């Protein structure tokens, strides 16, 4: 559960930075893609 909370916080934070113009769209997409793959790994681990 902790890792999912961290991942969610990372996505929210990156969207705020994007809105403020501090990161570009490519960086935002990379963060979201990385976060999604981490979530899938966590979800698979929870099933075991």
Residue 38: predicted pLDDT: 66
* Residue 24 main-chain phi, psi, to 5 deg: -95, 175
Q: Which domain holds residue 19?
A: 2-47
Domain count, the chain: 1
pLDDT tens per residue across span 7-47 = 888 889 999 999 999 999 998 888 888 777 766 665 566 66
Q: What global pTM score does this model have?
A: 0.58
pLDDT at residue 22, rounded to an integer: 92
């Amino acid at each position: 559960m902790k890792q999912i909370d961290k991942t969610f916080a990372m996505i929210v934070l990156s969207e705020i930075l994007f809105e403020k113009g501090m990161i570009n769209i490519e960086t935002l997409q990379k963060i979201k893609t990385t976060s999604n793959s981490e979530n899938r790994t966590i979800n698979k681990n929870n099933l075991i």
